[in-house]
Amino acid sequence: MSEYVYTLQQLLGAPYNKLFIVILFLGGCLTSIIIAQDSQPAIVLFENVRVFDGKSAQLSGPTNVLVRGNKIEKISTTPIPLERSGNTHIINGGGRTLMPGLIDMHWHTMLVRPTHAEIIVWDMGYSNLVAGAEATDTLMRGFTTVRDLGGPSFGLKRAIDEGVVAGPRIYPSGAVITITSGHGDFRQPFEVPRIIGGPLTRMEQTGGSMVADSPDEVRIRVREQLMLGATQIKLTAGGGVASPHSPLDATTFTAPELRAAVEAAENWGTYVTVHAYTPASIQRAINAGVKCIEHGQLMDEPTARLIAERDIWLSIQPFPEEAAAAFPPGSEERAKAMEVIRGTERSYPLAKKYKIKTAFGTDILFSQKQAQRQGELLARLVRWYSPAETLAMATSTNAQLLALSGKRNPYPGKLGVVEEGALADLLLVDGNPLENIQLIADPARNFVVIMKDGKVYKDLTVEAVKAAR
Ligand SMILES: [Zn+2]
């Protein structure tokens, strides 16, 4: 421990949980603040773990991994010498698997728990608190990073980064940008016609989605999201399942509108990703400079080839059959959901055949119950991939797509890998997930330690020691 004298400004900018503050009042006024600060960052040593590094098809032999501050400092098969101090935490791995935290590339932080109807009517303060509770659950499922593809998640992201609430790292897109009647336009028929320049709808006021019907309008909406802190921009280039007025086969934005979005995002050093199922919507988006396709379940062979040739990312998910059951029997939405679910059977083999850069994200909406199955949805990929390929996709591969946000990346540093110098987002798994992928479907039981940014959020090894006493 060493002593420093800090100015008030420095103090206010400092993480107060690490500081022991002594305030001296002299002559009735605040003249100086003396702080005794622990000059050493926290150290966590994982002893006797087998490492899945996010890439390899095999676990390492018995290994020790040292985390200092928010980074992995040393990985060694021999004991790591350590000066043990008050802020050193040693975790006896007991031969369990240490792996990178999971990444969900298609998440809607604000839209998991409310129903469709509730999003519009909920008070925003309440929405944020509910989303905060879900963010904590997300982290406790082992998802240490999410890419948010629509919804007003900027405030929650800030609260998580500041340590106000526990949750994953968030790469926010802000509002989904759509066209009149496109996917994400949840207005009712009585709200039509829209007056250009008129008052915003409730959906737009909350920052959930924004309607734009010309290149100029698109440019404004994109730039607004970038101003608010978007790390990438999300447009809906084709029809969607859950939107009441959006046929699945529709292609929405025109090429000049898409190009306006791409130009604005690229001027800001980042990229546009689009919601698109059909060949026409995917192809138009790629030709306009879009770098990532969300979903793609209805793509055909020439479209898959185009995605591969242009080196475009495909961010896709195996929608479960039950997702269709969320819509009333006989409804148009249910029919659309079934069409997309059937498309999944074709799209993964096409992605593999053409070696498309493929990312994983769940896209769970409007269901806390579904969200509890986040890991299970990932485990479903073993239908097409080996467990090692599945876990590599949800860690190191997903992290490559996160890095496409360039200088807008809010968490510079390596994610999705267990490597010296990488950010310390780590899971200690009770068993070998490369042999039994189902371990990730039950995180409460099998994720013994959850660490994000070097901070331990869960440690069942400590609980076990306490229980034994
Ligand atoms: Zn989505």
- Which residues are found with C-beta within 5 Å of the ion, ligand 1? 149, 363
Write the DSSP string, 48-87: EEEE--SS-SS--SEEEEEEETTEEEEEESS-------TT
pLDDT at 463: 67
pLDDT at 321: 82
pLDDT at 260: 98
Ligand 1 centroid to residue 48 C-alpha, Å: 40
Q: How far is CA 388 from the centre of its chain?
A: 20
Ligand 1 centroid to residue 132 C-alpha, Å: 19
pLDDT at 91: 96
Percent with pLDDT over 70 in the chain: 90
pLDDT at 116: 82
Ligand 1 centroid to residue 246 C-alpha, Å: 14
Task: Spell out where 194-343 has E strands.
Answer: 209-211, 233-236, 272-276, 292-295, 313-316
Amino acid 383 reads R
pLDDT at 48: 97
pTM value is: 0.90
pLDDT at 25: 34
Residues in the chain predicted with pLDDT less than 50, given as ranges, are 1-38
Ligand 1 centroid to residue 32 C-alpha, Å: 51
pLDDT at 333: 87
CA-to-CA distance for 272 and 316, rounded, in angstroms?
Answer: 16
Report residue 395 as tokens.
Answer: 């860690």
pLDDT at 468: 61
pLDDT tens-place string over residues 411-425:
999 999 999 999 999
pLDDT at 323: 79
Ligand 1 centroid to residue 109 C-alpha, Å: 10
pLDDT at 19: 36
Ligand 1 centroid to residue 107 C-alpha, Å: 7
Ligand 1 centroid to residue 176 C-alpha, Å: 9
Ligand 1 centroid to residue 328 C-alpha, Å: 20
CA-to-CA distance for 99 and 429, rounded, in angstroms?
Answer: 8
Cis before residue 193, ω within 30 degrees of 0?
yes
Ligand 1 centroid to residue 108 C-alpha, Å: 7
pLDDT tens-place string over residues 91-148:
999 999 999 999 999 999 999 999 888 988 999 999 999 999 999 999 999 999 999 9
Mean pLDDT, the chain, rounded, equals: 90
pLDDT tens-place string over residues 325-364:
878 899 888 899 999 999 999 999 999 999 999 999 999 9
Ligand 1 centroid to residue 398 C-alpha, Å: 16
